[in-house]
């Protein structure tokens, strides 16, 4: 008779492996079968042990050990924040709002060394700043392609919330393509949203993927109490890679500008203008001495009343830029922020008086 414990082993293995598969059967004696099942059971146990060894907590520990020394604590006269090493020769990336209008800035490393930092330059329109410290042997963090980030992927924030140095939190990428308003009526494009805990003091620190690569720079939280409320935002790494090298070289970053104000087309507007689709961006106003004025873009010229509401109509409707479809102003701004530079010539596709026309326009820096 087979021992009861060996029967239990057989039942466990069948349950784990899901039964027999395939059409070919190999026959064993009863003892061979039990021995074979015991071997399978040991294999399953080993597999479970391997899964345990590769548990996510071990992975997070590894990420922290590899990246933690490259995340710094930033202390100014009136604020605290975070940053990370961008290059071996002492450049550190942080948020512009962390170091804005500060005459004294200190950068502390995890080994306890604190150095005075100089501001190389900053850009308020992306909330990025670059500092320089006199220290050799720094290990920069690897920068990933934020276009490859997907909703649901792991997100890891390292920084100094409330002055608590070298704190690590974990969550997921909640969404992409958000916008954050900044000064002058402009906004930061393609911002990453995460539920990884981001609190005051995390600003300027890195948002990492599961490989420990930077996918964003933590910059803001959506809160009503001043503390973490489950919605954090990070400047995408691709924006960092566009802006930071120019700041290092020139001390600032010029953003391309068209010079129009308007609104996205709605269905009632499309019907009144006899448009085939309710997509596109209607030019309501052309700014004086702007690239748009030089290129001859036409603003709205008339108003009609519909269902008790006034609709401003009659201007150019932008439906494309450099061959890309424009569904609304977001598409225009994203193209300017991610694919265009000051001095570039772009081609706008517009609907004017019921006809599609192309307008060439040379981008200028924001005034």
With both helix axes pointing from N to C terminus, report the angle between 329-339 and 237-250 in degrees, rounded to the nearest 10: 50
Q: Provide CB contacts within 8 A for 262, sequence distance 6+.
A: 281, 282, 283, 284, 285, 300, 315, 329
Structure token pair of residue 130: 């670059």
pLDDT at 226: 52
pLDDT of residue 51: 37
Q: Which architecture, in CATH terms, is 256-365?
A: Roll (2.30)
User: Which pLDDT belongs to residue 19?
Assistant: 38
Predicted local confidence at residue 308, as pLDDT:
81
| Distance, CA of 226 to CA of 158 (rounded, Å) | 19
Angle CA(123)–CA(190)–CA(227) in degrees, nearest 5?
A: 75
Nearest to 219 by CA among 243, 240, 244: 240
Q: Are 191 and 240 in contact (CB under 8 A)?
A: no
Topology adopted by domain 146-245: Thrombin, subunit H (2.40.10)
Catalytic residues: 97, 127, 203
Q: What pLDDT is stored for residue 220 in this prediction?
A: 79
CATH of 62-132, one of 2.40.10.10, 3.30.70.100, 3.90.1150.10, 3.40.630.30: 2.40.10.10
In this chain, the answer to whether the domains covering 62-132 and 146-245 adopt an identical fold is yes
pTM value is: 0.77
Domain boundaries, the chain: 4-53, 62-132, 146-245, 256-365
Task: Give me the average pLDDT of each 10-residue run along the chain (367 residues).
Answer: 40 34 35 46 47 60 94 94 97 97 95 96 96 96 96 96 93 93 85 93 96 95 58 95 97 95 93 93 96 96 85 92 95 91 97 95 94
Helices (H), the chain: 4-17, 30-53, 56-67, 96-99, 237-250, 267-272, 291-295, 329-339
pLDDT digits (tens, 9 = 90+) for 97-144: 999 999 899 999 999 999 999 999 999 999 999 999 999 899 999 999
Q: In this predicted model, what pLDDT tens digit does every residue of 252-307 receive, in sequence order?
A: 999 999 999 999 999 999 999 999 999 999 999 999 999 999 999 999 988 888 88
């Amino acid at each position: 008779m087979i021992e009861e414990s060996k029967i239990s082993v057989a039942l466990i293995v069948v349950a784990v492996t899901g039964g027999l598969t395939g059409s070919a059967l190999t026959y064993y004696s009863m003892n061979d079968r039990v021995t074979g099942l015991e071997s399978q059971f040991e294999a399953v146990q080993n597999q479970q042990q391997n899964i345990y060894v590769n548990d996510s907590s071990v992975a997070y520990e590894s990420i922290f050990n590899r990246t933690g020394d490259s995340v710094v604590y930033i202390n100014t006269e009136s604020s605290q924040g975070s940053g990370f090493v961008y290059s071996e020769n002492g450049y550190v990336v942080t948020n512009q709002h962390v170091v804005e209008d500060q005459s004294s800035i200190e950068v502390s490393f995890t080994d306890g060394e604190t150095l005075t930092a100089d501001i190389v330059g900053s850009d308020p329109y992306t909330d990025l700043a670059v500092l320089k410290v006199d220290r050799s042997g720094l290990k920069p963090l690897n920068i990933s392609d934020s276009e490859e980030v997907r909703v649901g992927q792991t997100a890891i924030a390292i920084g100094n919330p409330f002055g608590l140095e070298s704190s690590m939190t974990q969550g997921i990428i909640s969404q992409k393509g958000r916008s954050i308003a900044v000064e002058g009526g402009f906004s930061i494009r393609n911002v990453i949203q995460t539920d990884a805990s981001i609190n005051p003091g995390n600003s300027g620190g890195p948002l990492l993927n599961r490989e420990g690569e930077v996918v964003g720079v933590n910059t803001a939280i959506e809160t009503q109490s001043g503390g973490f409320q489950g919605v954090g935002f990070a400047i995408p790494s691709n924006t960092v890679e566009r802006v930071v090298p120019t700041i290092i070289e020139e001390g600032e970053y010029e953003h391309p500008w068209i010079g129009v104000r308007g609104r996205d087309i709605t269905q009632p507007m499309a019907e009144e203008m006899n448009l085939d689709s309710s997509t596109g961006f209607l030019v309501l106003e052309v700014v004086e001495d702007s690239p748009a004025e030089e290129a001859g873009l036409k603003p709205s010229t008339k108003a009609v009343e519909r269902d008790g509401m006034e609709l401003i109509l009659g201007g150019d409707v932008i439906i494309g830029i450099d061959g890309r479809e424009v569904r609304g102003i977001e598409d225009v701004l994203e193209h300017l922020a991610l694919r265009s530079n000051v001095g570039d010539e772009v081609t706008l596709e517009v609907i004017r008086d019921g006809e599609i026309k192309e307008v060439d326009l040379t981008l200028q820096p924001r005034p």
